């Protein structure tokens, strides 16, 4: 259905973005690790969603469509950058005078997940935030189940180490 700017499809889409935009931006920020890249990622996903709007029959499926578009777009970006991105096993040191370590548990977990390398962060978000199985994650990311398992294992190990360091800082 061809629609002009300001038509019913545009209004319905605008209403959806206004209502769900903040939650979708948080998801994008979890995938990318920073707000600027998250805004770009969400914008790209929303453009894809707008063009597919007529095919999304169930309104409850819209969030899933946008999230999938974000993940697929980010995976494509990672593949383009594959030769230039070099993940490391070292976690950067945190500033000693950083007052945010006193924040609530949700903020501590969010910041710990943000410090993970991109692929580990995406895998953790898909597994524990989106509640996807390892097979679904492997299919979505275009990798083997073994890669998903090892990526999750490394990510959880880093999160545990980060948690131990946080506890150690608070008790010293």
63 against 7, higher pLDDT: 63
DSSP H or E stretch at residue 48: helix 35-52
Q: What is the mean pLDDT of the chain?
A: 80
- Is residue 24 a contact partner of residue 62, using CB atoms and an 8 Å limit? no
According to CATH, the topology of domain 86-172 is: Arc Repressor Mutant, subunit A (1.10.10)
User: What pLDDT does 44 receive?
Assistant: 92
- Is residue 66 a contact partner of residue 45, using CB atoms and an 8 Å limit? yes
- Is residue 137 a contact partner of residue 166, using CB atoms and an 8 Å limit? no
- Is residue 53 a contact partner of residue 123, using CB atoms and an 8 Å limit? no
- Is residue 87 a contact partner of residue 119, using CB atoms and an 8 Å limit? yes
Domain boundaries, the chain: 1-85, 86-172
Tens of pLDDT, residues 84-127: 555 667 766 655 555 444 445 667 777 888 889 999 999 988 88
User: What pLDDT does 19 receive?
Assistant: 92
According to CATH, the topology of domain 1-85 is: Rna Polymerase Sigma Factor; Chain: A (1.10.1740)
């Amino acid at each position: 259905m061809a629609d002009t700017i300001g038509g019913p499809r545009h209004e319905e889409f605008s209403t959806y973005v206004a209502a769900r935009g903040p939650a979708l931006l948080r998801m994008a920020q979890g995938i990318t690790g920073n707000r600027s890249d998250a805004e770009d990622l969400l914008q790209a996903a929303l453009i894809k969603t707008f063009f597919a709007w007529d095919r999304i029959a169930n309104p409850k499926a819209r969030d899933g469509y946008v999230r999938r578009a974000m993940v697929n777009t980010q995976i494509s970006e990672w593949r383009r950058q594959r030769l230039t991105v070099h993940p490391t096993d070292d976690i950067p040191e945190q500033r000693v005078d950083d007052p945010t370590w006193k924040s609530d548990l949700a903020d501590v977990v969010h910041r710990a997940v943000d410090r993970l390398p991109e692929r580990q962060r995406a895998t953790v978000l898909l597994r524990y935030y989106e509640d996807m199985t390892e097979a679904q994650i492997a299919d979505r990311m275009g990798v083997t189940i073994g890669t998903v398992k090892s990526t999750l294992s490394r990510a959880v190990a880093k999160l545990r180490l980060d948690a131990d360091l946080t506890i150690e800082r608070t008790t010293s």
